[in-house]
Structure 1
Amino acid sequence: MTRYFFDLIDPDGRLVDEEGLEFTDMEAVEREATEAMADAARESMQRAIKPRETTIEVRDEFGPVMRVRFSVEVEHVRTQ
């Protein structure tokens, strides 16, 4: 099994995963990364109205292996 680390990157900076999780295949890594992104996106939407982009960078001991991105932009088309 390989240990993968899931770093969170957003406009506020980078939150480095120091512990990581072990997986046997990349499909499981991708599933974990997308679930983590869904949680991060939900949290981002609750605290920000300004445009946001959040990335989860997955890495192993050799470096990055995958990036999952979520971007939100709110555009007002009519003012009241």
Structure 2
Amino acid sequence: MPNEEGMVLPDIGSVQEEAVKALADMVHGAGKKSAGLIQMAIEIRDDDGPVMQIRFAFDVVRLR
């Protein structure tokens, strides 16, 4: 789900921190709804194209 609005942050460290927080929020809700392999990613872009990608994958295995 693209976010065309975007944010302006002062440096690449702030960009990474904000992206990790956003992905953590997405992951928090996903584990409650699904089982199996769950993969998520956020791509950070500027006017010149991709700058960074934050990826996360986990596997929900229900044993009972």
Alignment TM class, shorter chain as reference: 0.7 to 0.9
For residues 16 and 54 of structure 1, what CA distance do their matches in structure 2 show? 13
Structure-1-length-normalised TM-score:
0.72
Q: Which runs of 4+ in 1 moved over 4 A?
A: none
More strand by share: 1
Structure-2-length-normalised TM-score:
0.87
Q: Which has the larger radius of gyration?
A: 1
* Percentage of pairs with the same residue: 33
SS in 1 for 2:8: strand
Matches within 5 A, 1:39-50: 39-50=25-36
> Relative contact order (alpha carbons < 8 A, sep ≥ 6): 1 or 2 greater?
1
CA 1:54/1:65 → structure 2, altered by over 3 Å: closer, same or farther? same
Matches within 5 A, 1:1-80: 15-75=1-61
Unaligned runs of 5+ in 2: none
CA RMSD of aligned residues (A): 1.5
For residues 26 and 69 of structure 1, what CA distance do their matches in structure 2 show? 16
Give the number of equivalent residue pairs: 64
For residues 48 and 72 of structure 1, what CA distance do their matches in structure 2 show? 11
Unaligned runs of 5+ in 1: 1-14
